[in-house]
A and B are shown apart, each in its own frame.
Chain A
Amino acid sequence: MNRLALFIPFALCLALGAFLFFSLGKDPLDLPSALVDEAFPEFALEELHEPERQVSTEDFAGQVLLVNVWATWCFACRIEHPWLNSLAEEGVAIVGLNYKDHRKLAQDWLQERGDPYQFSIFDPRGVLGIDLGVYGAPETYLVDSQGIIRHRRVGVVDERVWNEEFRDLYQQLVDQANAK
């Protein structure tokens, strides 16, 4: 019995080693999200193309949709954009959140690359960005028909990410909304 007790420190070291080893594989950039399963924050901001029009969560109109945070200064957004275009063609509702950008630059960007957004929220000072906990672009939020955030992706949404993280949940939310 006493001899077995001598192995306790060894077992503890082994457990600590295993814990640290598996922690190595975790992505430190993968931050916990504070807003998943919370309501999309209220906002009242100008529309990107129509400065005189104010948009708010009411413009989500009870749809299941993606809110995509982007900017012309964001390089990864260029990589992401073609996939957003094809999602929009498939009929996925996407709202753009133009984050800390210039109106003219953003308009030209969409003109050039195609506009997948139902409408674009213009947030030059990042006010809504702070309410959402945005710390970079691109970021994409999946919002259900009740205006609740169901998923958040920090970084590019491409075909692989869509299939792995969004597709099933999106379909499920759409089915739920249609059943009502």
Chain B
Amino acid sequence: MPSNSLLTFGWLKQVGLLLLLLSSVAVAVEDVVNFSDESLRPRYQQLLEELRCPKCQNQNLADSNSAISQDLRAEVQRLLEQDLTDAEIKEYLKNRYSEFILYRPEVNRATWFLWAAPVVLVLLGGLIVLRLSRRKKLSQSEKLDVSPRSVEQQQRLDELLNSHKRGSE
């Protein structure tokens, strides 16, 4: 029966899809971390995203699988369980691994320029655009600005126009 086999095929497809989904879930939870309180988990994830692996430079603690990142992940977990705030945990690690470990640098003497530069550049760009557009407007209005003709000029214009009309007739 063709219809029946089609049905079973569809059923198999669904099971296959389900298995695929489940397997990807299984991969995602490879790194098992147990918290006494589940509310710590989002903070843990957030911290790992923002802390930089000191050994592997361009990865954060969440991405890196180097030995030191594993140790630091465990350290972050331990500190979270000790009821430290996020800021305290960052401070703790900063005191040991220097500012390098923070992917989001603090504002201080060395970094203020980094933080201020985008704002300054946007303001500067806006200022330039404003000035340019104003200058353009000015020059345009100058072109359109027709000063009133004097009576003599009007007479001369009429004469010229009339002579032209006569000439064409």
Contacts and interface: CB of A to CB of B under 8 A. Distances in A.
Most buried by A among B55, B95, B97, B99: B97
A76 B34 CA distance: 36
Contact of A133 (B57, B67, B98): B98
Nearest to B98: A34
B94 A34 contact: yes
A126 B96 CA distance: 13
Among A33, A135, A136, the one with the most B-chain Cβ atoms within 10 Å of its Cβ is A135
Given A130-B71, A135-B68, A33 B55 contact: no
A28 interface: yes
B96 A131 contact: yes
Given A32-B99, A34-B96, 11 more contacts: A28-B57, A31-B54, A31-B97, A32-B100, A34-B95, A34-B99, A126-B71, A131-B96, A135-B54, A135-B55, A136-B68
Interface residues of A, number: 16
Interface of B is mostly: helix
A31 B53 CA distance: 12
B68 A34 contact: no
A130 B72 contact: yes
Interface in A35-75: 35
Interface of B: 54-55, 57, 67-68, 71-72, 75, 94-100
A133 B54 CA distance: 9
Interface of A: 28-29, 31-35, 100, 126, 129-133, 135-136
A100 B54 CA distance: 17
Nearest to A125: B71
Contacts of B98: 31-34, 133
A135 B68 CA distance: 6
A130 B96 contact: yes
